[in-house]
């Protein structure tokens, strides 16, 4: 099983959104990480067939020459549901749209709702659902039909910390036999479950590798420095600062710099937040 993204280019008016983007994915979880406007949503739209590229192609090689559109699950960044439907009715409706049939549909829907912690709300009208509950229902519908390729665009928006952990566990288990693409701004969502992390900015792929290798790429560029609160603003204007900790006596700053910023600064191991700040200029 392989998903091949080859030389994808896309422009809107004069703005290049994707610039010769090439990537090959096999089974596993992939984190797609980039700032707003990086091209993540356009790339997802092209993979799902909702957007036509100006050039390049997406090719899926699955079992029995199965077409990608027949084996994809997708949670868009923004989704809407029919308010008069119950959660049960909504999932059954999506099953019909996907032409997915099972011998025991009631049990199948219950299993899906259990995965996203909505079983107790199975027969409640969707107009009564909170934003987080709707997001969880969106995750459930993306799993219908046991797709081989699943794409989640900002899936943990609106989820509380406990629900986010539950979702990460679901994603981790799916990656054993599927291609899972997880686009997000939240680095903790992908730091520990992604087989590879794909960094994208201004339509170009900057890096695609494991969490360890990506953080290793900025080894020797992250420094810890302590200063007084009165010095803080001046230092922040001079350097990229990924974290600040304030105690009663002073301020501890985490600074990104190719060279030692101050004589008493100390090197520290980089993390994924540091990587985002280093390559994107923001977190």
Q: What is the pLDDT of residues 106-165, one digit of tens each?
A: 999 999 999 888 999 999 999 999 888 898 899 899 999 999 999 998 887 777 888 888
Say how far apart CA 154 and CA 78 lie, in whole Å: 9
Question: What digits encode the pLDDT tens for the residues 184-201?
Answer: 877 877 888 899 999 999
What CA–CA distances, in Å, run from 195 to 35, 100, 175, 222, 249? 20, 29, 9, 24, 41
Q: What is the mean pLDDT of the chain?
A: 89
Long-range Cβ contact pairs of 106-114 (< 8 A, separation 24 or more)? 112/140, 112/143, 112/144, 113/87, 113/88, 113/140
Please give the residue that has the higher pLDDT: either 260 or 282.
260
Dist CA 270 CA 213 (whole Å): 11
* In contact, 127 and 148? CB cutoff 8 Å: no
**What ranges do the domains of the chain cover?**
2-215, 218-280
- pTM score, whole prediction: 0.87
The domain at 2-215 falls in which architecture?
3-Layer(aba) Sandwich (3.40)
* Helix locations, the chain, DSSP H: 40-48, 87-97, 105-115, 131-142, 161-174, 188-191, 211-216, 232-238, 272-280
* Residue 234 CB partners (closer than 8 Å, separation 6+): none
Residues in a beta bridge with 28: 179
Residues written for the chain: 283
Q: Give the Å distances, CA to CA, from 114 to 32, 46, 87, 140.
A: 27, 31, 12, 9
Residue 283 pLDDT greater than 70, yes or no: no
Per the CB < 8 A criterion, the answer to whether 75 and 179 are in contact is no
Residue 64 is predicted with a pLDDT of 52
96 Cβ contact list (under 8 Å, min separation 6) = none
25 three-state secondary structure: strand
């Amino acid at each position: 099983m392989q998903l091949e993204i080859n030389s994808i280019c896309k422009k809107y008016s004069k703005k290049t959104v994707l610039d010769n983007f090439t990537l090959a994915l096999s089974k596993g979880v992939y984190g797609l990480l980039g700032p707003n406007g990086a091209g993540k949503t356009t790339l997802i739209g092209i993979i799902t067939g909702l957007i036509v590229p100006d050039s390049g192609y997406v090719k899926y090689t699955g079992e029995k020459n199965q077409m990608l559109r027949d084996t994809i699950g997708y949670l868009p960044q923004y989704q809407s549901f029919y308010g008069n439907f119950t959660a049960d009715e909504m999932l059954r409706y999506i099953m019909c749209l996907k032409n997915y049939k099972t011998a025991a549909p009631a049990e199948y829907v219950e299993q899906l709702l259990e995965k996203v912690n909505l079983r107790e709300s199975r027969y409640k009208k969707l107009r009564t659902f909170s934003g987080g509950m709707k997001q969880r229902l969106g995750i459930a519908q993306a799993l219908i039909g046991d797709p081989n390729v699943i794409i989640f665009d900002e899936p943990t928006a609106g989820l509380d910390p406990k629900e986010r952990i539950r979702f990460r566990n679901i994603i981790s288990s799916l990656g054993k036999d599927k291609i899972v693409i997880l686009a997000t701004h939240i680095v903790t969502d992908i730091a520990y479950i992604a087989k590879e992390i794909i960094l994208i900015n201004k339509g170009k792929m900057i890096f695609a590798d494991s969490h360890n290798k990506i953080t290793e790429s900025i080894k020797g560029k992250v420094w810890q420095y302590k200063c007084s609160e009165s010095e803080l603003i001046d230092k922040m204007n001079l350097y990229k600062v990924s974290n600040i900790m304030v105690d009663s006596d002073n301020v501890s700053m985490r600074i990104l710099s190719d060279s030692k910023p101050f004589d008493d600064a100390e090197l520290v191991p980089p993390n994924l937040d540091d990587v985002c700040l280093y390559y994107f200029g923001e977190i």
